[in-house]
Structure 1
Amino acid sequence: MAPTPETLTAERILEATEEVLRRHGPAKATVVDVARALGVSHGSVYRHFRTKAALREAVIKRWLDRTTDELAVIVEDGTRDPETRLRDWLAALFEAKRRKAGDDPELFATYMVLAGENGTVVAGHVEELTGQLERIVEAGVSAGVFGGVAPAEAARVLFQATGRFHDPCYAGEWTLPSADGDFRAAVEFLLRALRVR
């Protein structure tokens, strides 16, 4: 009896696409390569993703969502006070981005290309991240820890002020010996600025 073929799902296609992109790079990877890796026709892939651009967009969104989902756990953790949540959230973002750049440099370079092609997806990711920051700042204002700030404005400033530690254009600096100390100093400076005086 022949083994039952695994059901083709969007998730399986995205996993295979990531592997194909890693192997061939963004310039040479095709939908046919993805279909071949899955043992299906390229038409089967197109039933899930109408175009190559839609497939590439879904891959970058999936990659960015991994970070957003990881950080959401910190935002929701009511056992940590808002200042600790903010410190932990910024540290987790820095670590997630550093890990992505360092663990698989070829895939990171590929995702940089895909991010450049999908500005709307990246803008949505940034909006989600600043929304998470806003919720932490709101919690701090409600608890009387942070004062004199509008949470949405503070979130944008926090995100922009820490860009060196999460914007991929700075990835080359993330392994410098001074990176961790610079990060801690920046976070402590920002926390002092937020605290009620």
Structure 2
Amino acid sequence: MTADPETTLRADARRNRDQILAAAKSIFAASGPEAPMEEIARAAGVGVGTLYRRFPDRDALIRAVAMDNFERVLIDARTIAAEETSPWRALERLLRHSVALQLSVQLAMVSHRALVILKNDPEVRRLRDEILVVLDGFVDGAKAEGKLREDVGAGDIAILLATLLRQMRAKAPEVAEMAARRCVGIMIDGLSVRPGSALPGRPITSRDLDPD
């Protein structure tokens, strides 16, 4: 029995799409959303024409990457919230499990072009806002536990992640990953309650991240 040509075509198209998204995620995380489309096609093992058939322009690819990432992060965040009884442990776990969160935060806050795309897309914005709601819950609960310092907000944490988790150049990928994990560990240590210097200004909230 031979495979249905239409089914095979759909499977090939889905595989190509998944390969392009995986390559775009990796390259966007390392180089930002302005990375050459040719480089993404090459990393995905497809031709440039195939890439543009799946995603007609860079904005469509950025949106697809953001949608996929935000959906995965939201699922992870809600799973963590359901499994952890301590909001501080939930926050710490989410921050340590930040490979997907890394790119989502960067797309939402670092790239101006991506920021415009995400801001104007209601579905992407909905997913981003739902993630921030979960993060707000972790932050408020961790403060109530007495584990998170009072002078930080969810916005502070998102900004720290955007700054710390930008992949750096290293001789080997494992060195870059180790460095990112070390930065997250240092960040978590600095977020915990302990005597220390007071931060200037006020806590930055998730509402402060809205670009309106």
Q: Is the 8 A contact 2:74 2:131 kept in 1?
A: yes
SS at match of 1:192: coil
Give the TM-score taking structure 2 as reference length: 0.51
Query: What is the CA–CA distance in structure 2 between the aligned matches of 1:84 and 1:159, rounded to whole Å?
Result: 17
Whichever residue aligns with residue 19 of structure 2, its letter is E
**Partner of 1:186 in structure 2?**
187
Q: Percent identity?
A: 13
Picking from 32, 37, 42, the partner of 1:26 is 37
**Partner of 1:88 in structure 2?**
93
Query: What is the CA–CA distance in structure 2 between the aligned matches of 1:34 and 1:92, rounded to whole Å?
Result: 30
SS at match of 2:176: coil
Deviation at 1:69, TM superposition (A): 2.9
Larger Rg over CA atoms: 1
Query: What is the CA–CA distance in structure 2 between the aligned matches of 1:129 and 1:73, rounded to whole Å?
Result: 12
Give the TM-score taking structure 1 as reference length: 0.54
Aligned ranges for residues 52-63 of structure 1 at < 5 Å? 52=57, 55-63=60-68
**Partner of 1:130 in structure 2?**
132
Q: CA 1:2 to 1:143, structure 2 compared with 1: closer, same or farther past 3 Å? A: same
Q: Is the 8 A contact 2:147 2:192 kept in 1?
A: no
1:72 aligns with 2:92: no
RMSD, aligned CA: 4.5
Whichever residue aligns with residue 86 of structure 1, its letter is L
**Partner of 2:169 in structure 1?**
172
Whichever residue aligns with residue 88 of structure 1, its letter is R
Query: What is the CA–CA distance in structure 1 between the aligned matches of 2:149 and 2:181, rounded to whole Å?
Result: 27
Q: How many residues align?
A: 159
Could you give the per-residue CA deviations for residues 135-168 of structure 1, whole angstroms, max 9, x where no partner exists?
Answer: 212333455655756xxx71001222343333x3
SS at match of 2:169: helix
- Between 1:68-77 and 1:171-180, the stretch displaced more is 171-180
**Any gaps of 5 or more consecutive residues in structure 1?**
36-41, 101-110
Query: What is the CA–CA distance in structure 2 between the aligned matches of 1:176 and 1:87, rounded to whole Å?
Result: 18
**Any gaps of 5 or more consecutive residues in structure 2?**
25-35, 42-46, 120-124, 195-212
Deviation at 1:2, TM superposition (A): 4.4
**Partner of 1:139 in structure 2?**
141
Q: Is the 8 A contact 2:146 2:193 kept in 1?
A: no
Query: What is the CA–CA distance in structure 1 between the aligned matches of 2:132 and 2:112, rounded to whole Å?
Result: 20
